[in-house]
Structure 1
Amino acid sequence: MPNGYSKVTWIDHTEYDDTHIHHLYRPLVSSGLAFGSKRWISALQRQCESLTILMSSAIPNRDKPTPISSIGKKSMLKLAQRMTQKFCRGVCASSSQKWSKLEIGNIDEDVRIMTGKNMDDSGEPPGILLSAATSVWIPVPPRRLFDFLRDVLLRSEWDILSNGGPMQEIANIFKGQDQSNSVSLLRSTAMNANQSSMLILQETSIDASGAVVVHAPVDIPAMHSVMKGADSAYVALLPSGFGILPDGQGMEETGSLLTVAFQILVNSLPTAKLNVESIETVNNLISCTVQKIRAALRCDK
Structure 2
Amino acid sequence: MTARQYFRPIPQDRGGRWRLAGGWTGFSRFELLERGQPPRITDDAPAEILDRLTAPRAPLAGLSMDRPRIMGIVNATPDSFSDGGAYDPAAQAARLVRDGAEILDIGGESTRPGATEVAIADEIARVLPAIDAGRHLAPVSIDTRKARVAKAAIDAGAVIVNDVSGLDFDPDLADVVARSGLPLCLMHAQGVPQTMQDDPRYDDVVLDVYDALEERMRRAMAAGIRADRIVVDPGIGFGKTQAHNLAILRRISVFHGLGCPILLGVSRKRFIGAIGGAEQAPDRAPGTLAVTVAAVAQGVQIHRVHDVAEHAQGLRLIAALNEEEAGT
Please confirm whether the aligned pair reaches a TM-score higher than 0.5, indicating the same fold.
Answer: no
Instruction: Give the TM interval when normalised to the shorter protein.
Output: under 0.3
Higher relative contact order (CA 8 A, sep 6+): 1
In terms of Rg, which structure is larger?
Answer: 1
TM-score, structure 1 length as denominator?
0.26
TM-score, structure 2 length as denominator?
0.25
Q: Which has the higher strand share?
A: 1
Q: Which has the higher helix share?
A: 2
